[in-house]
Structure 1
């Protein structure tokens, strides 16, 4: 069984003499990888699941699942910078990871399994569930879609987004890349079509989006401290990203008059659902770097700039098995929160 690996790039500003970049070999993959803990006000860790608009959830008995999407990370990048308070020395570190060894068939199968599991659990929560195919001849038919899968870009890197087999891949405001042409003011956009579906079906509308990351990355960001390091780390591990989840426009919320904060609700992951299991082989593909990280991991330290490029060669069976389990856990966590908000 392969071991999960954690790779750390650190660059430290120094005054006077320049330290050469040093590769410390032989500290191979001993650290299991975890996603960064998400924190809110005053640095307090967020709850596992966060809800908005939950006062409108009670009494809702029918819902249209108008959109279900899973975006799979293809590339991830992270960087950090540090400057000395009392000198001109500075440091920066950057890491970049790419995923290989998988194809659309694997990602589509994961998406279809997650979608089927979500619908089953939603029905078990006591809701009458209408799928897109049940309402395709009404307002839903006006909804714009793009070919699935669609390549998207985000601050964290590149993504490949899938809809379930036979369903529209709907672009939402905030998506970048394939969906950038669809604005909230377009008559065929979700922002315009969702209210029409609510009126037509006398039911709430859900849109579900999950982001599945293949490397967990962390960074010290931009700092200005005496002797501070610029630190970036990446480790192999799959996770359903914090912020993934359900947008829920309820029938009750649509009927609210006057001041109606959070009339369009949400149920999202406050913390990532993750696994520390390795699912493939990590290779250092930095130009001039040490390869085969199964044997060697490393720490880069020096003045100026440090960089490391990683490639994960995924085992399709392991990747699929872990991904389906994590998405199933995310479905359970979100729908359990919905049950509680409904008073079930």
Structure 2
């Protein structure tokens, strides 16, 4: 049967759309070392934390935290109004949603305590960090950033830099426990971004050459590690920020400096607790869905 040109064109369009959708979906996630993601019917959860950004700075010339303070042009954004109660509520509800979605996919969930799994000679080196610890998130090497990390259930947790100990326990017991680490920010700082039409942001951009794009978001490479050894682990992470547009509160200029060789500014986001909560839960639930849908492929 000979197809007409319109039919052929339509078929090619559908195939191209399908291919584009698959590529776009693949790029949403970073999935690495899939051999460690097999046989995850029982999810042994060692850690579930959400890190909340309280300030971030970026220079126009570099993203290096080492060069931020000496940069000629830089912008800092401070997020104020985040209480322990609000952060704990968000973390606990994100965890409950995570568990609910795992169970909906047929997973069973158990708590994994590495300190009870390690051999005696290694157990003394395992340390937990108290809840609401500052600057222990995974994103520290990438930016001049300050955070508060909150653990589900208001429990001491395994900070990101020590999670290799979960891998030690995994190897010693031939298990594959997981850790979940999310980073929430109130917006995105972009160096040398296009000039914005908004007068307020335009003024800041003209001064510092750094734009702030407001909107609560889960940052890239937030997600899941599946541990096999201290250095071998599978990853399911988001590859691009998941966000809701618009400031979750009131943005004000805190201070500005415009010296001959230096142009710096600081913005403050005074959060609206209800707006911040709603936006944070929206993006966290979306990320939970993306990651668990991917996990389900490796049961």
**Residues 82-140 of structure 1, C-alpha deviations (whole Å, 9 max, x = no match):** 9xxxxxxxx942111101122110001001011111112122222221124xx588327
**Residues 120-164 of structure 1, C-alpha deviations (whole Å, 9 max, x = no match):** 2122222221124xx588327954211111011632310000111
The answer to which of 53-62 and 268-277 deviates more is 53-62
Tell me by how many angstroms 1:230 deviates. Answer: 7.1
Which of 128, 139, 147 matches 2:117? 139
Q: d(CA) in 2 for partners of 1:313 and 1:235?
A: 15
Q: How is 1:148-163 mapped onto 2 (pairs within 5 angstroms)?
A: 148-152=131-135, 154=140, 155-163=143-151
- 2:292 is the alignment partner of 1:312: no
| Aligned residue in 2 for 1:245 | 223
Which of 276, 291, 294 matches 1:334? 291
TM value normalised by structure 2: 0.72
Which runs of 4 or more aligned residues in structure 1 lie more than 6 Å from their structure 2 counterparts after TM superposition? none
Are the equivalent residues in 2 in contact too, given 1:73–1:213 (CA < 8 A)? Answer: yes
Are the equivalent residues in 2 in contact too, given 1:139–1:193 (CA < 8 A)? Answer: no
Which of 183, 191, 196 matches 1:211? 183
Tell me by how many angstroms 1:310 deviates. Answer: 0.4
Query: Structure 2: where are the runs of 5+ without partners?
Result: 1-23, 63-70, 194-206
Query: Structure 1: where are the runs of 5+ without partners?
Result: 1-43, 83-90, 174-188, 222-228, 255-261, 289-299
| Aligned residue in 2 for 1:170 | 158
- 2:250 is the alignment partner of 1:281: yes
Higher relative contact order (CA 8 A, sep 6+): 1
- 2:281 is the alignment partner of 1:324: yes
**Residues 287-310 of structure 1, C-alpha deviations (whole Å, 9 max, x = no match):** 48xxxxxxxxxxx9x974322210
| Aligned residue in 2 for 1:224 | none
Higher relative helix content: 2
**What do you get for the CA RMSD once the two structures are aligned?**
3.1
Q: How is 1:42-61 mapped onto 2 (pairs within 5 angstroms)?
A: 47-61=27-41
TM value normalised by structure 1: 0.63
Query: Judging changes above 3 Å, is the alpha-carbon distance between structure 1 residues 48 and 79 closer, same or farther for their aligned structure 2 residues?
Result: same
